[in-house]
């Protein structure tokens, strides 16, 4: 009788170990995928910041800087378009500094901004 009980315990322990091993393997795969996604995001953000840093080393117009910011943000966020609104100095209102082609305007946009 004892050999049957011990054999049952051995089989139960083996099955428990096997199920735990399957769960852990699944968790490890999920964590590896998450790590890869985070590394891709970090690379995108680093490239964006590096591009901005390079732009500051040169003489750059404000309009070009606004374009770099919006294009970098749309790349990092994988967006279809983007816009940058800045406060007007005199009126205290938001004014569009740059709007990409895939982004609808939130407020009325002057024609000169749309042509950029």
pLDDT tens digits, the chain, 116 residues: what are they? Answer: 888 999 999 999 999 999 999 999 999 999 999 999 999 989 988 988 888 888 878 888 888 889 989 988 888 888 888 999 888 888 778 888 898 887 877 766 666 666 66
CB-based contact 99:114 (threshold 8 Å): yes
- pLDDT at position 110: 67
- Longest CA–CA separation in the chain, Å: 93
- pLDDT at position 30: 97
- Tell me which residue has tokens 């606004």: 66
What is the reported pTM? Answer: 0.62
In the DSSP assignment, the letter for residue 78 is: T
């Amino acid at each position: 009788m004892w050999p049957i009980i011990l054999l049952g315990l051995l089989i139960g322990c083996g099955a428990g170990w096997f199920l735990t091993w399957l769960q852990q393997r699944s968790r490890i795969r999920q964590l590896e995928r998450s790590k890869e996604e985070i590394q891709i995001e970090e690379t995108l953000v680093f490239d964006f910041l590096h591009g901005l840093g390079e732009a500051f080393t040169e003489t750059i117009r404000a309009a070009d800087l606004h374009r770099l910011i919006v294009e970098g943000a749309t790349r990092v966020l994988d967006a279809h378009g983007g816009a940058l609104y800045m406060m007007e100095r005199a009126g205290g209102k938001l004014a569009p500094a740059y709007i990409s082609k895939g982004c609808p305007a939130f407020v009325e946009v002057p024609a000169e901004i749309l042509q950029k």
